Structure 1
Amino acid sequence: MPKAQAYAVMNPKEPLVPFAVERREPGAHEVLIDILFCGICHSDIHQARDEWGGSTFPMVPGHEIVGKVAKTGDAVGRWKTGDTVGVGCFIDSCRECESCREGEEQFCEVGMNPTYNGFERDGKTPTYGGYSTCMTVDENYLLRIPEGMQLERVAPLLCAGVTTYSPLRRFVSPGDQVAIVGLGGLGHMGVKIAKAMGATVTVLSHSEHKREAALALGADDFIATGAEGAFRENAKRFHFILDTVSAQHDYNLYLELLKRGGTMVLVGIPDPVPLSAVPLVMQRRQLAGSLIGGLRETQEMLDFCAQHNVAADVEVIPIEKVNEAYDRVMKSDVRYRFVIDIASLREKSA
């Protein structure tokens, strides 16, 4: 059995520490991949610290994974040794429900199998994620990484990229006025992807200090929502708003920024907030939500990003700095995504 060196959290009160994981030899339709890079998603921190409840330990986080095929099962037809592949937020699903048949595996009616902090289809084998040197995955749940992309900058696309791409693809047309709420790991991808789709993009953030960064990413405009009159002066301006913020904020104010018939999509999950029907009903607006993307759409996103030269802005770190990175994420001290160079884990265990 291949042994993976990893970093795990043993309980929600302690830092991540070195940990060994037994990975299985690939079955007939499985692939063993050597992991090269793994992004750090804010949801890694939520689950490692059991902030959402239901976390299982020990936990090896990581669902923004890029690697190389090291070995294939006897019946694998899609992949060969040396292929560059990605693993996103889930590694299996029931494959039989309506959602799975339609390529929307993230909405599997039986329940998708998360890349970590979950169980495989047998309901008892824990899933361990990408803060590790290798993993074994079903061939159908791998993504092909287009040639020429910078792999460390691709890793966050497997979560942050598809999370923003999916609603933008669904609701945005070239020339639309689009607002992105928040300029973190998700928001910065939203700016880049919306611009590549031909939209006019405005970043909404509470204070002025992110204006320069927003414009540097390609945004056409910036609104400091904490400024007096900001919401009144921009009423009915946007066709679409992508809200990436997980901190509690007033949806009603942002809905008033939509044109008649406009749509706001939530991809963050803040604590419950009061919602009035008035801004929806009076201008036939829509408030919707979106959850990552299925395999088909994630592959489409990767191909789109390769075509338009879109990638995440990252800070690459060795595995030894993962706990420091967690603390910095909580302070919003990163532009815009940490990515672990798994070579550092191999060197550490050599």
Structure 2
Amino acid sequence: MVYQGITYRGSPSGKIVESSFARESLEADEVVITVTHSGVCGSELHLLRMGIVLGHEGIGIVQEIGSACKRVKVGDRVGWGFNHTGCGYCDYCLSGPSEDQYCKNAKMFTLDSTDQGSFSTLSVRKEEWLFVIPDGLSSEYAAPLMCAGATVFTPLIDYVKPIDRIGIVGIGGLGHLAIQFAAKMGCDVVVFSSSESKREEALALGASEFYATKGVTNLADLGMKKPVKYLLLANSGSTNLGIYYPLLDEHAKILLTTYATGDLVTSHPEMTFRGLSIIGTKIGSRYIVYVVVYRSF
């Protein structure tokens, strides 16, 4: 049987173009999915000229399963994100599903699965990284959790405690989820945005304080009540970390969750004498995606 789908790819001109793909066989551990919903991640902007099928926050209905599939069945509503599969034998895979997103041999969106984006009518994926969506969670809300939700939930679970004061920079695809997660955890959430128009939304999502930064050259002039212990960067292009130092408490941690080109700029003395840390995080593990999906509604 031939499996065919209509896809939407990037192109050298930067325009999204319609194309198609065909698969002539289904491997034992693969699943055929009719795609119904897809999130739109900001990272798609970096991929527009690569010629790959875009989208990595997909939701769809299982149409067929391979002979070795055990977790999903025909008719299930499933979701998937950035990772396609892991090797199953490296240190990160063998440590369990809490760090398997760091598998060095993983097959991932953009690098190995160029025709498996969620901007498509059909997707053929490994069962390993599929997540059955519970009935109480609508597809349009489930899709962004596959990447954006898992990405910001990971550092919150790994480092932040309910009593902590955390700053979140940006209130876009990642930021609006990070605010809700941190607030529901019981954190004191402070939101920073370049736009004053985001104030009402940020407070409604659970922020206790909001500061608009547009036109402010020294963030010390914002008049914060007190510094933050964690600063989660959910905006794009945050390469000059030094501008955030006035917001930070001693021993604060800067959590990097977005993709930005270029080198980070920081002050060595400031980092050393104040005991600051910079921590990068990569999407979410299978365990984290599962937790986000089943604990978010």
Q: TM-score, normalised by structure 1?
A: 0.77
Conserved in 1, the CA contact under 8 Å of 2:255 and 2:280? yes
Q: Deviations over 1:221-255 (max 9, x none)?
A: 10123447642543861121101122245312313
SS of the aligned residue for 1:247 comes to coil
CA positional deviation for 1:197: 1.2
2:173 to 185, 190, 206: 185
Unaligned runs of 5+ in 2: none
The aligned length equals: 291
Q: Counterparts in 2 of 1:17-96, with a 5 A limit? A: 17-49=17-49, 55=50, 57=51, 59-96=52-89
Name the % identity.
Answer: 33
1:263 aligned onto 2:258: no
Aligned-partner Cα distance in 1 for 2:30–2:45: 29
SS of the aligned residue for 1:129 comes to coil
Aligned-partner Cα distance in 2 for 1:178–1:266: 13
Moved over 6 A (4+): none
Alpha-carbon spacing, 1:253–1:77, altered in 2? closer, same or farther (3 Å):
same
1:292 to 279, 283, 287: 283
Unaligned runs of 5+ in 1: 50-54, 121-125, 307-350
Q: TM-score, normalised by structure 2?
A: 0.90
Tell me the amino acid that sits aligned with residue 247 of structure 1.
G
Q: Counterparts in 2 of 1:1-350, with a 5 A limit? A: 1-9=2-10, 11-49=11-49, 55=50, 57=51, 59-102=52-95, 103=97, 104-110=99-105, 112-115=106-109, 117-119=110-112, 126-225=114-213, 226-227=215-216, 230-231=219-220, 233-234=223-224, 237-248=227-238, 250-270=240-260, 271-306=262-297
Aligned-partner Cα distance in 2 for 1:48–1:240: 33
Tell me the amino acid that sits aligned with residue 241 of structure 1.
L
Q: Deviations over 1:269-289 (max 9, x none)?
A: 333242102332222221111
Aligned-partner Cα distance in 1 for 2:240–2:19: 42
Conserved in 2, the CA contact under 8 Å of 1:32 and 1:135? yes
Aligned-partner Cα distance in 1 for 2:264–2:32: 44
Conserved in 1, the CA contact under 8 Å of 2:229 and 2:253? yes
Aligned-partner Cα distance in 2 for 1:68–1:207: 38
Conserved in 1, the CA contact under 8 Å of 2:28 and 2:68? yes
SS of the aligned residue for 1:253 comes to helix
Conserved in 2, the CA contact under 8 Å of 1:179 and 1:203? yes
Conserved in 2, the CA contact under 8 Å of 1:235 and 1:258? no
Conserved in 1, the CA contact under 8 Å of 2:179 and 2:206? yes
Aligned-partner Cα distance in 2 for 1:228–1:107: 37
SS of the aligned residue for 1:85 comes to strand
Conserved in 1, the CA contact under 8 Å of 2:57 and 2:143? yes
Q: Deviations over 1:204-236 (max 9, x none)?
A: 123423212211222111012344764254386
